Structure 1
Amino acid sequence: MDVAAALLASGVQDSEPSFALFAQSLDPHWVEQALRATGTATIRRRKLPAEYVVWLVIGMAMLRDRSIAEVVRHLDLVMPVPTGERQHVSGGAVVQARDRLGPEPLAWLFHASAAVWASASADEYRWCGLAILGVDGSTLCVPDSPENDAHFGRAGTSRGEAAAAYPQLRLVTLMVLRSHLLVDAAFGPYSDSELSLAQRLWPRLPERSLVIVDRGFANYENFQRLADPAHQRYWLTRAKQGQRMAALRVIRKLGSGDTLVELRPSRCTRRLHPSLPETLTVRAIQYQRKGFKPQTLLTSLLDAVAFPAAEIIALYHERWELELAYDEVKTHTLEREEASLRCRNPQRVSQELWGLTLAYNLVRLTMADVARRAGVLPNQISYRHTLHFVRAFWISAWLASPGVLPKRLQSLYNELPLLVLPPRRNRAYPRAVKIKMSNYPRKRPRSQTNGVN
């Protein structure tokens, strides 16, 4: 059942909390299984049951501009008393309920739902019979608390300061590039490298797939690990800036700027990984776009007939869909706060992050439904407007009587043309900002400064 059908079907019920209007897109049985699989299901019926806390954590990401207390209220997440009246739940009770739940059920739920949603989406938008996936990393700031500082650590700065203003976690995601649905995610302290975090994601690559990776992941070990022609698993990346084509041994020329070349591991790689083969055959495709420097793509797609060079060049630029996805999360979902996440404790940060990935996928699932109705691709739908659409409906579901919700939903779907984006223009963005920094002095931990009344 798609999201719209689920919402319309559930709109006739008058005894469910408002979040249940979305519960059919996130199968309630998954929530139950997540609680049982992680040992967090309880018999005792509390004011804030575990299954409601799951929706609270998702709602915290979806309704970023609301306090946690408001999210509880908007989603009607407190069990009623026998008289039918809703009970009040204190902030301390919410914290205790979240701590009882922990991050594990949210992680389990994300992986279970992503396995279904992302797999179906990848099948829907294949290229040459292959699912098109991408891997890249980013960082998120967390609140400046002693616990977060000790666990996640901080980045250094380029201005001579000892460390950055906020602790940061490092995040690497595996995504279906043509729908932006997340397949998997791995995160850890800032000191964890993207390469080490990505090791957790490589086993999730399905058969008959092509993973497009940033050149930071381009190394001999990954080239060998990700290439699996027997199961039709392939990779594509851009050569590193210092990797000269003249230094590569050409095996065979396939066409203009299209050759099979031989790679050899460095001495360091050979010493660390003695089991790696002596050589690896890859395909090198050279091209130059007007106004840009010449570029070289490296790939394990060796068949020039099945995988034409011109199509591979065009396909590589879909890697930027992952950069856009990080922008959707940071700028629009988290609204570019200084501290991206809310929680001051590492366990709650982990829980919140899994809730964020679930919320993002729910919005993206709605966008896929909108795209089908509008007859366009999911990346032609506005994430920002869809997020506002979902937020508005969640809040209106709390305020409106159940009987009018199907009509309200239908009126929202009548505005679908507003969500369709115009064709993308060819644009280039220099890595520069207009405002570099604030003129105010830096606020240091536990320091007292003179303020202005």
Structure 2
Amino acid sequence: MLSGHLTYLIEAQEPDDLRRLAEHLPDEWIERVVWAAGAASIRRRRLPAEQVVWLVIALAMYRHWSISEVLDSLDLALPNEAAPFVSKSAAAQARQRIGEAPLAWLFEQTARAWTTQDAAHHAFKGLSLWAMDSTTLRTPDSPANREHFGAQGYASGKVASYPQVRAVTLTAIPTHPVADINFGRYDTNAMVYAKSLLPQIPEDSLTVFDKGFLAAEILCGLTMGARNRHFLIPAKSTTCWEVIAGTADDATVRMRVSQQARKKCSALSEFWNARAIRTFDARGRERVLLTSLGERRRFKPADIVACYERRWQIETSFREIKQSMLGSELTLCSRTVEGVYQEIWGALIAYNLIRREIASAAWEANLEPTISFVRALHTIHHEMMWAAVTPAYAKLPACLQRLRERLKALPNGKRPGRACERVVKSRPKRYTVRYLKQDLN
């Protein structure tokens, strides 16, 4: 009886806007995830668990809308003539009922499926391309969030105004979807989160790291853990090595593993080798790239340098999530720990959905997937609202085709001759600073 009820909910009364995205996010996944998490709705609700999953994803896309606006505008609640509107409290309670586990499982399933498709389309000399980097997110300053996540501490003894979440992501470089993530307390070192992501990196791959991850435990753990997994990382100014072969511009070097690292990981030997390639950036500053790609004929220095330059493109994924999708808000919305986790998983699924649609449109047009994320997000906004008011006889293929035709018409690639240097800018103050007279004297 319960199985029949779920089938009725999904097949007979699923809002049209959900059918719009069902090509990438099949109904079977939604049904399976709520069953696996024990969150399936037994009694008939306006917002059963399947619809709440879509609600969390939609809230990430429509950041500046309230829950009520998202429910009403996208027609997410099941129809009920006696109660045409869903109250905010009912929506909040529905989110609490499902928790964060269904969204976490759904992210893992979708990310694995979508990034596997990307790896088949884009490769670097037979190797799939990945990038690993870290970021932080602020949460509302509630006692629960501050106790669970912690916050940044300063040398002066002060603590940051808002609790912070530290995250390390594994991103597919060609199309920029987030393939995997580990996040939690701010005071947990990023290396700890990075180690847990290493088993998720596939074989026959090249992972580009930020130089903060330069450690034998991480890099040797990557190459030893599976067949044909390689790394590429810039050396620090303090990195020491011994040249054992090659030239000054392309050498094989040997580095010593610290005793502390060997105590943590007994599989590490006393030394580890890498290939060191010397290059210069746009300002003429010297930079050395360390890599495990030792075949010089197959992997030439120019190719490796060009591959590393692509690594900076994934920095935009953080910007697109935190600024474009989340509206540059100072903090996330949820004041509870479980709500923060649920919100982050929903935002990641929404981001990957948009990236998936951008890639699909680019493949159909035989173009690189460099369509503007902001334009694509706005286009999907319009299409989801259009689908919500379209009669039930409108079919998914026609909706998707209309969306992709609009995406393919968007400008592709960067403007020629445009250069944007990477700089760190201070956050503008919301209010002017008031100085006391004694400070001016």
Give the TM-score normalised by structure 2.
0.89
Alignment partners' CA distance in 2, 1:118 and 1:15: 27
Alignment partners' CA distance in 1, 2:308 and 2:50: 41
1:268 aligns with 2:270: no
Q: Which residue of 1 aligns with 2:49?
A: 50
Q: Secondary structure at the match of 1:136?
A: strand
Q: Secondary structure at the match of 1:45?
A: coil
Aligned length: 420
Kept after mapping to 2: 8 A contact 1:61/1:359:
yes
The one-letter code sitting in structure 2 at the alignment partner of 1:217 is F
Alignment partners' CA distance in 2, 1:326 and 1:269: 30
Q: Which residue of 1 aligns with 2:5?
A: none
Alignment of 1:15-414 (within 5 A): 16-81=15-80, 87-157=84-154, 160=156, 162-228=158-224, 231-243=227-239, 247-253=240-246, 257-339=249-331, 341-378=332-369, 380-402=370-392, 413-414=404-405
Alignment partners' CA distance in 1, 2:361 and 2:154: 43
The one-letter code sitting in structure 1 at the alignment partner of 2:208 is I
Kept after mapping to 2: 8 A contact 1:40/1:101:
yes
Alignment partners' CA distance in 2, 1:434 and 1:95: 32
Given the superposition, is the C-alpha separation of residues 154 and 282 from structure 1 closer, same or farther in structure 2, using an over 3 Å criterion? same
The one-letter code sitting in structure 1 at the alignment partner of 2:168 is V
Deviation per CA, 1:344-380, whole angstroms, max 9, x where unpaired?
Answer: 10101101111111000000011001211332211x2
Alignment partners' CA distance in 2, 1:214 and 1:364: 23
Q: Secondary structure at the match of 2:273?
A: strand
Deviation per CA, 1:26-55, whole angstroms, max 9, x where unpaired?
Answer: 011011111122222233221210000000
The one-letter code sitting in structure 1 at the alignment partner of 2:337 is P
Deviation at 1:392, TM superposition (A): 1.3
Q: Aligned-pair RMSD on alpha carbons?
A: 2.4
Kept after mapping to 2: 8 A contact 1:17/1:75:
no
Given the superposition, is the C-alpha separation of residues 412 and 41 from structure 1 closer, same or farther in structure 2, using an over 3 Å criterion? closer
Given the superposition, is the C-alpha separation of residues 108 and 61 from structure 1 closer, same or farther in structure 2, using an over 3 Å criterion? same
Deviation per CA, 1:77-108, whole angstroms, max 9, x where unpaired?
Answer: 22223x6x763222221122111101001111
Given the superposition, is the C-alpha separation of residues 86 and 367 from structure 1 closer, same or farther in structure 2, using an over 3 Å criterion? farther
The one-letter code sitting in structure 2 at the alignment partner of 1:154 is A
Alignment partners' CA distance in 2, 1:438 and 1:239: 41
Deviation per CA, 1:403-432, whole angstroms, max 9, x where unpaired?
Answer: 678877666544432242334633313323
Give the TM-score normalised by structure 1.
0.86
Alignment partners' CA distance in 2, 1:39 and 1:409: 32
The one-letter code sitting in structure 2 at the alignment partner of 1:431 is V
The one-letter code sitting in structure 1 at the alignment partner of 2:114 is W
The one-letter code sitting in structure 1 at the alignment partner of 2:65 is R
Deviation at 1:402, TM superposition (A): 4.8
Kept after mapping to 1: 8 A contact 2:15/2:76:
no
Deviation at 1:264, TM superposition (A): 0.9
Q: Secondary structure at the match of 1:421?
A: coil
Given the superposition, is the C-alpha separation of residues 86 and 304 from structure 1 closer, same or farther in structure 2, using an over 3 Å criterion? farther
Alignment partners' CA distance in 2, 1:345 and 1:22: 29
Given the superposition, is the C-alpha separation of residues 230 and 201 from structure 1 closer, same or farther in structure 2, using an over 3 Å criterion? closer
Q: Secondary structure at the match of 1:389?
A: helix
Q: Secondary structure at the match of 2:361?
A: helix
Deviation per CA, 1:216-273, whole angstroms, max 9, x where unpaired?
Answer: 1111111210114961111110001211xxx4222211x5610111111123323443
Q: Which deviates more from structure 2 when the two are superposed, residues 52-61 or residues 403-412?
A: 403-412
Deviation at 1:394, TM superposition (A): 1.3
Alignment partners' CA distance in 2, 1:15 and 1:136: 38
Deviation at 1:137, TM superposition (A): 0.7
Q: Which deviates more from structure 2 when the two are superposed, residues 256-265 or residues 54-63?
A: 256-265
Given the superposition, is the C-alpha separation of residues 167 and 23 from structure 1 closer, same or farther in structure 2, using an over 3 Å criterion? same
Deviation per CA, 1:198-233, whole angstroms, max 9, x where unpaired?
Answer: 122111000111111101111111121011496111
Alignment partners' CA distance in 2, 1:290 and 1:338: 33
Alignment partners' CA distance in 2, 1:350 and 1:280: 38
Deviation at 1:23, TM superposition (A): 2.3
The one-letter code sitting in structure 2 at the alignment partner of 1:32 is E
Kept after mapping to 1: 8 A contact 2:150/2:186:
yes
Q: Secondary structure at the match of 2:179?
A: strand
Q: Secondary structure at the match of 2:367?
A: coil
Q: Secondary structure at the match of 2:284?
A: coil
The one-letter code sitting in structure 2 at the alignment partner of 1:44 is R
Alignment partners' CA distance in 1, 2:272 and 2:192: 22
Q: Secondary structure at the match of 2:304?
A: helix
The one-letter code sitting in structure 1 at the alignment partner of 2:85 is H
Q: Secondary structure at the match of 1:197?
A: helix
Deviation at 1:275, TM superposition (A): 3.8
Kept after mapping to 1: 8 A contact 2:72/2:85:
no
Kept after mapping to 2: 8 A contact 1:386/1:419:
no
Alignment partners' CA distance in 2, 1:178 and 1:383: 14
Q: Which deviates more from structure 2 when the two are superposed, residues 347-356 or residues 415-424?
A: 415-424
Alignment partners' CA distance in 1, 2:325 and 2:120: 27
Given the superposition, is the C-alpha separation of residues 101 and 14 from structure 1 closer, same or farther in structure 2, using an over 3 Å criterion? closer
